[in-house]
Amino acid sequence: MSLSRESAPVTMEMVAKAAGVSMSTVSRVLTGTVAVSETKRVAIEKAIAELRFVPSPVARSLAKGRSMTIGIVTQAIDSPFYGLAMRGIEDELNPAGYMPLFVSGHWNVKTECQCIDALRARRVDGVIVLTGRLTDQALIECARFLPTVVTGRNLTAPGICAMNFDHFSGGMLATRFLLESGHRRIAFIAGDPDQPNSSERQRGYQAALEAAGIAFDPDLVMPGDFHEASGMLAVDRLVTAHIPFTAIFAANDQMAYGAALGLRRRGLRVPDDVSLVGFDDLPGSQYAAPPLTSVRQPAYELGQVAAVAMLQMLSGTIPTCDLPPLTLTTRESTRRLLG
Amino acid sequence: MSLSRESAPVTMEMVAKAAGVSMSTVSRVLTGTVAVSETKRVAIEKAIAELRFVPSPVARSLAKGRSMTIGIVTQAIDSPFYGLAMRGIEDELNPAGYMPLFVSGHWNVKTECQCIDALRARRVDGVIVLTGRLTDQALIECARFLPTVVTGRNLTAPGICAMNFDHFSGGMLATRFLLESGHRRIAFIAGDPDQPNSSERQRGYQAALEAAGIAFDPDLVMPGDFHEASGMLAVDRLVTAHIPFTAIFAANDQMAYGAALGLRRRGLRVPDDVSLVGFDDLPGSQYAAPPLTSVRQPAYELGQVAAVAMLQMLSGTIPTCDLPPLTLTTRESTRRLLG
DNA sequence: TTGTAGGCGTTATCAT
DNA sequence: ATGATAACGCCTACAA
């Protein structure tokens, strides 16, 4: 296994020698800043091709002070939701010559801070923070050094571009749909209260009830943490406490999956006995059994918009931080309640 | 938005000046290679802390020729299966001071090649390829320059550490379980034939049938591509063609989800009418409706083992490429067929 | 248009 | 133990 690998990479100096020119000239055709005589250019390009020379971004970074790398603080590299956003970022950044550097904050303020430090140490040219629990202050501090875009919160500060979906409206959307389907006893499974938009969704739920003239019943609100198990537990509690309900609105799809399983365990069918609505519209929701009605958060587009905004900041133009409105994807987990 | 950001980062030179020593000495306490007098050490450490100095990995890379970065060629940054592996990699690499650099090959040979080129250009210290469609030759070529570990295939070559689960055994495991549960008409939904281990799983299926003395019926084998839709389509075809079956073994969980939906659409219940087994045991399978019986591939552990192997190669020791055997996780999607 | 020289922020090799 | 000094590979004035 102790293999002697290929020697040092081809350098610009070798190219210059092969083409019979100076390194500066090579550098010029590489960067394309200044005109170079046709004859030398072809000679250099030939040498580059023959030697299979690739300029070192490391050296380039050191010389220019830019790394062509954007740091992305995601919460978990295996998150189904942020995975899509990462993909959107990737798809926008790569064509622009930038490379995303993904690090995971794990919904932990301290870890997220370390992520940002690590990214700054790596000399990234900008930072995109996908939600997380960082304080606004920490982000403002980050923006003092680097162009910063953050999703999942509203924040106006110099050097920061924040973008957020309207989770309140999303909460209303789902609840209103259930109300219009004839449901009156709608349980709500809340998300992790420590996460930014969790309570917004609940506020939307309550607002929709109020608008429909339905009294808010706190017994119908179950705590949750955005994971499947908490959705299942919520159903258990509801049933055990003999609290009547004909529909459930879970603050995210994962909890809805858990709730579906909980209902199944109790012999309750979806949607025949209970209608179920989630939030996020994860890719898997399309193939859940039954396919889940959910408030769609276009995560891929979120990533794209975030990346474009970063590119704009980098090029000195004013970033556009506008996100599309949330929509409801109706599938088979909900049904009209016949009066 | 045109904010004037903080000026250039603190350099070692500034630390040296502040501590009244030379840059070399600062470098020494940083790298900890050579002894430094106690008095100077504290002075330097004090200066580092006060100036909040962080050494530049970029400059360090240039000087040392190592970037402390490992390139990871994953197939999709949002893949549920490889997401777990990436997490395992991350969790092993970070404590060792290395940072993973994730790029996506999208199951496309050309893209994967570009990924490797991009990683080499970024001067990563090693490459981990998560499966993919690269030719063995391409990997051997890669290994000429960088320590390379690859998952999902068996390959013995200098400088390469390959690791793979025993998909044949996995296929047998699932099929044997169904056979032992009394099933005789077991349909198989195949995976993408272009992916390395796809046919291995099918071979295991056939071998198990043979071992049980059951004639292999090609009508029971449906083509698939590892995506949900193809699982659903397979069920459609099976039912439409009036091919009798009491169980389905899908070559991965995603197709099993699709199959479950297809069965549901046809009014067939799982597991009452049809038992269903998947392959991978994705996190979501635990909360599928019903929870899915599946051949468990410990993806997180795979990532860990791959990362450890890389670390071992980097440190010059012989890497261990052994993976745990595949196991079967039995859940509610399968039932004993009463004879 | 082209080449020379200096700098980017570290580490490593020398002397001392 | 410490301090100059030369790499590391590239970019960019500056000069020609």
Region of A127 (left: φ > 0; alpha: ψ -120 to 50; beta: rest) is: beta
* Residue B34 CA, nucleotide D4 C1', distance (Å): 17
Nearest protein residue to nucleotide D12 (CA to C1' distance) is A24
**Nearest chain B residue (CA) to A255:** B287
Cα angle A282, A283, A284 (rounded to 5 degrees) comes to 90
What is the overall mean pLDDT for chain A?
Answer: 93
Rounded to the nearest angstrom, the gap between the alpha carbon of residue B216 and the centroid of all alpha carbons in its chain is: 32
**Nearest chain A residue (CA) to B4:** A144
pLDDT band at B2; cut points 50, 70, 90: very low
B227-277 confidence digits (pLDDT tens)? 999 999 999 999 999 999 999 999 999 999 999 999 999 999 999 999 999
The yes-or-no verdict on residue A9 having pLDDT over 80 is no
- What percent of chain B is modeled with pLDDT above 90? 80
Among B59, B159, B284, the residue with its CB nearest the CB of A62 is: B59
* Interface with chain B: mutation pick from A58, A74, A286, A321, highest number of B CBs within 10 Å: A58
Region of A263 (left: φ > 0; alpha: ψ -120 to 50; beta: rest) is: alpha
Among B58, B83, B288, the residue with its CB nearest the CB of A61 is: B58
B297-334 confidence digits (pLDDT tens)? 999 999 999 999 999 999 889 999 999 999 999 999 99
CB contact under 8 A, A57 and B123: yes
* Residue B60 CA, nucleotide C3 C1', distance (Å): 29
Of B135, B160, B164, B141, whose CA–CA distance to B310 is shortest? Answer: B160
- CB contacts < 8 Å between A and B, how many? 150
Pairing of strands B275-280, B247-250: parallel
* Cα B100 from Cα B80, distance rounded (Å): 18
Strand D atom within 7 Å of A37 CB: no
Strand D atom within 7 Å of A67 CB: no
Nucleotide nearest to A10 (CA to C1'): D9
CB contact under 8 A, B84 and A78: yes
Per the CB < 8 A criterion, the answer to whether B167 and B146 are in contact is: no
Strand D atom within 7 Å of A240 CB: no
Among A56, A261, A287, the residue with its CB nearest the CB of B261 is: A287
* Cα B71 from Cα B331, distance rounded (Å): 37
A258 vs B50 pLDDT, higher one: A258
* Structural domains of chain B sorted by starting position, each given as residue range(s) with its CATH number in brackets: 5-63 (1.10.260.40), 69-165+299-324 (3.40.50.2300), 167-296 (3.40.50.2300)
Per the CB < 8 A criterion, the answer to whether B306 and B153 are in contact is: no
Minimum mean pLDDT among A28-37, A300-309, B161-170, B191-200: which range? A28-37
CB contact under 8 A, B287 and A77: no
Residues 44-83 of B with CB under 7 A from strand D: 59, 62-63, 65
The yes-or-no verdict on residue B4 having pLDDT over 80 is no
B64-121 confidence digits (pLDDT tens)? 888 889 999 999 999 999 999 999 999 999 999 899 999 999 999 999 999 998 898 8
What value does the mean pLDDT take over residues B32-53? 89
**pTM, whole model, 2 decimals?**
0.92
Q: A-chain residues within 8 Å CB-CB of B117?
A: 54
